[in-house]
Amino acid sequence: MTTEPWLEKLDRRECVELLRTESVGRVGFIFDGFPMVLPVNYRIVEKDGKIWLAVRTRPGNVLDRADTPVAFEIDAIDPHAKQGWSVLVRGTLGRVDPEAADTSQHVDPEPWMTVDRDAWLAIDPFEISGRRLHPAQHEWAFEPTAYL
């Protein structure tokens, strides 16, 4: 007998913990009237109980000119086990002053491509949500210890 796969809603704390574990995500936004999704390096920034996602990009590129609001997603998928998780951040995109005190130390997402990445952006979340897909479970016909 097999149980059905099921979705678990992740609370905000679990979502933030998952955001801390990754450094690459995808940001979605509207550009020239159409949806666009781009992979980015990011860094979670926490101060006084507030959270932001920091991103660096080339000045004037599509992300630097993106309209706000935006969506940001990270996930992990195991296709063999048919399980995974996803965290979605919805928020507003704004510029960060790179000359401000401690910006590079606390906000720098350390992009993989560093040449000309002088536009500093931050996503200010108004919603952080997530889900975890649990796979179907196969129930043994006999007591498992009977096989040992």
Residue that wins the pLDDT comparison between 55 and 72: 72
Nearest to 117 by CA among 126, 109, 105: 109
Residue 134 placed within a domain: no
- Tokens, residue 19: 């955001």
Residue 44 placed within a domain: yes
- Is the per-residue pLDDT at 139 higher than 80? no
Residue that wins the pLDDT comparison between 53 and 107: 53
| 15 backbone dihedrals φ, ψ, rounded to 5° | -65, -45
Whose structure tokens read 């992009």? 111
How confident is the model at residue 52, as a pLDDT?
Answer: 93
pLDDT tens digits, 83-109: 999 999 999 999 887 666 455 555 555
Per the structure, the count of domains in the chain is: 1
Residue 138 placed within a domain: no
Residue 133 placed within a domain: no
pLDDT tens digits, 1-51: 567 888 899 999 999 999 999 999 999 999 999 999 999 989 898 888 899
Residue 82 placed within a domain: yes
How confident is the model at residue 58, as a pLDDT?
Answer: 82
Residue 30 placed within a domain: yes
What gap in Å lies between CA 56 and CA 117, rounded to an integer?
A: 6
Residue 68 placed within a domain: yes
- Is the per-residue pLDDT at 57 higher than 70? yes
Instruction: Note down the domain range covering 75.
Output: 6-128
Q: Give the CATH number for residue 51.
A: 2.30.110.10
Specify the pTM: 0.81
State the CB neighbour count (10 A cutoff) for residue 47: 9
Residue 43 placed within a domain: yes
pLDDT tens digits, 106-118: 555 565 556 566 7
